[in-house]
Structure 1
Amino acid sequence: MNGAAYPEHGCWNRVGVAGDRSCPELAHHAHCRNCPAYAEAAQRTMQLPVEPSYRAFWAEQLRRPPAQAQSGNASAIVLRIGHEWLALPSAMVLSVAPLAPAHRLPHRSAAALLGVANVGGRLLPALSLAPLLGIDGATAPEICGRHVFARLLIVDANGQACAVPVDELHGMVRYASAQLAAPAATVERPRPAHLDGVLAYDGLQVGVLNGEQVAARLWGLLK
């Protein structure tokens, strides 16, 4: 067996830095990796014949066509309302604003119509998604390890800007439509019309909202 061809039997493992350090060349090279004997052994190792099975494995791997990365064709803003993580198409979101109080409107009692809110000097209708989507907005998960801030999303509801309060914003996500899984449906609770699907994102199961459905329902509150 040639010690120069098999590194585990090389001199650096006996008298070098991995051995008893008795090699006189250490005084000159300081470390075995700087020694010509180490470099020569590396060259011999690289020149060893390749086993047929190894060659066949890599030939098979390299002849395969490269995998096509699934590019995202949609984007959405990930948000939380109560316990529910949702995503609203980013094309609907006009801006994000600090949470502001809503002032009730007389003779308007719809639970989803909170009133009007002052957003940057503009009075905008304030609408809640929770009752529209059947979400218990009064409950929220226990949050640990991060700061959570409620926000107002300014969204476009068929041409009308509306202020929609959310309990938390996670940010924007790009995804491919093929990534969406079908929402769970039961006999008692059929598939919600307002959901396009469910997206697995950053450890969350996010319900992706149908922008047209949500905009139509928000607009219906303003008539």
Structure 2
Amino acid sequence: MTEPTQELDACWNRIGITGDHSCEILQQAVHCRNCEVYAKAAVRNLQRPVGQHYLREWADHFRAPEDQGARQDNSCVAFRIGREWLALPTSMFQQIAPKAIPHRLPHRSARGLRGVVNAGGKLYPCISLADLLGIDEAGGEARAGRHTFARMLLVRWEEQSYALPVAELHGIIRYASGALKPPAATINKGIERYLAGVLAHEDIQVGCLDDSLLGYQLARTLR
């Protein structure tokens, strides 16, 4: 028979770090998580008896058949340039870096090539997707309730890395292959030729770029 769990005295909410800070131990411990009383309370909480309702709920969850139609077998990283929300497969990404000013390369004037940028001590060719896809960078607004910062996407195609400046980063989106829809007839024609499909996500329509087509175009800018 399991002994009833003693009710926890959440002293950290009264006199600790989230309380009035009057605890005598707090000055030495700095934070309640460094206190033995807090640690023992955490152990007691983890050792509390599990209710029958909780057990039944999880048993029902694991007995339910998997919904194969909703399997999210793809992922991409979504970002904004001007008014356009676009995405590239996560497999292309090396990292996300702060925006940097590119240094122009002499005698190189390929469309989209803005120069080279330094990211983490390495030099990357800086390619403007806005120039390649015919996007007006001046348009577009941040989504409501979000703080946005311009970023550089450090991506790799075959053996070459590139830095792609964007106005806003949304993050990783996981989706099922069947969720991709054909682009609307009104979409920017410069973008359409590079699209694998359009993904509806939350309140935005994300154009998923074909990595092969775009990778080939990125490589052309360096020839």
* TM-score computed with the length of structure 2 as normaliser: 0.65
Q: In structure 2, give the amino acid aligned to 1:80.
A: R
- In structure 1, stretches of 5+ residues that fail to align are 1-64
CA distance in 2, matches of 1:175, 1:150: 25
Partner of 2:6: none
Q: SS at the partner of 2:183?
A: coil
Partner of 2:3: none
**1:51-106 residue CA offsets vs partner (Å, 9 max, x unmatched):** xxxxxxxxxxxxxx985451011110010011000111111111111111100111
- In structure 2, stretches of 5+ residues that fail to align are 1-64
Q: CA deviation at 1:202?
A: 1.4
Q: SS at the partner of 2:217?
A: helix
**1:154-199 residue CA offsets vs partner (Å, 9 max, x unmatched):** 011321011111111111011111111101236x959822101110
- Would you say 1:80 and 2:73 are equivalent positions? no
Distance verdict in 2 for CA 1:215–1:67, change over 3 Å: closer
Alignment of 1:1-223 (within 5 A): 68-141=68-141, 144-185=144-185, 189=189, 192-223=192-223
Give the conservation status (yes or no) of the 8 Å contact 2:88–2:211.
yes
Distance verdict in 2 for CA 1:110–1:198, change over 3 Å: same
Q: In structure 1, give the amino acid aligned to 2:196.
A: D
Give the conservation status (yes or no) of the 8 Å contact 1:185–1:191.
no
Q: In structure 1, give the amino acid aligned to 2:167.
A: D
Residue correspondences, number: 158
**CA-based RMSD:** 2.2
Partner of 1:59: none
Distance verdict in 2 for CA 1:157–1:144, change over 3 Å: same
Q: CA deviation at 1:143?
A: 5.2
